[in-house]
Amino acid sequence: MCPHTHSEPQKPEDIVRDEGAQLDFSRDMSYGDYLQLGSILNAQKPLSPAHDEMLFIIQHQTSELWMKLMLHELHAAIAHIAADELQPAFKMLARVSKIMEQLVHAWDVLATMTPPEYSALRPYLAQSSGFQSHQYRCIEFAMGNKNAAMLKPHAHSPERLAVVQAAYEAPSLYDEALRLLARRGIPVPASHTQRDWTQAYEASDAVEQAWLQVYRDPKNHWDLYQLGEELTDLEDTFRLWRFRHVTTVERVIGFKRGTGGTGGVSYLRKMLDVVLFPEIWRLRTAL
């Protein structure tokens, strides 16, 4: 019999060396090339001598990246609901809720900045403010919180204004959900399925009754019932995101006015009272 040969196990450094030897990044795309890391990691340009400005910049840049993904998912989910394709829409809405959870926890990092640390960099921000985020405004509009006044902060940039204007004029996620209910034979008043999409949504007893029909018979309306719960999850996490924003701002700047001219904490607290899908919340009392 031939004796068994036993090879020595490769050391980790040998594996790395062997794998790396097979790649020639003069011809092949690298990790950094694919992710455009040269652009991303050089996009932080602090204006002040303050150490903590890097935290402030990265916090807001990463939030904008998450919001870009959120809009990607929201727009696709709205299109799927409009096409009566609920299964992919559910996956996308669940992903949006998870992104919002990520953004809730992101405030924990910014909250490590103390008032004196923020005060050291605040003069360098001039009038720039998260209030001017066109992506956040598109999210608000896609979720149904329409307000023509919110177009004004983007008037200086025709390209961004066009994007926000399109979101303002389009049916929101909730508008498309109600239109779907109507197509399924659930009585929804025409005032809520054929309306001016630029107007703020007004709650309706008739719409609450429509959702109650779904919730009282989930077996026969299972996908619509699930849609209602996906919307509930979404607004739940959106409220947490807003609340964490308020508490972080109050912790860092107190009740000073915002750099963009808003009332700061007072303005953000008003936003906590906005209910996006009112009938879905109200029906719980009636069940």
Given a cut of 90, whether residue 66 has pLDDT beyond it is: yes
* pLDDT per residue as tens digits for the range 116-166: 999 999 999 988 888 789 999 999 999 999 999 999 999 999 999 999 999
Residue 83: how many CB atoms within 10 A of its CB?
A: 12
| Residue 127 confidence (pLDDT) | 82
| Residue 148 confidence (pLDDT) | 94
Mean pLDDT of the chain: 90
1's CB contacts (< 8 A; 6+ apart) are none
Question: pTM of the full predicted structure?
Answer: 0.88
Dihedral angle, C-alpha 170, 91, 286, 214, nearest 10 ° = 80
For the chain, percent of residues with pLDDT exceeding 90 = 76
250's CB contacts (< 8 A; 6+ apart) are 265
Given a cut of 60, whether residue 239 has pLDDT beyond it is: yes
Buried b (16+ CB within 10 A) or exposed e, 92-113: bbebbbebbebbbebbeebeeb
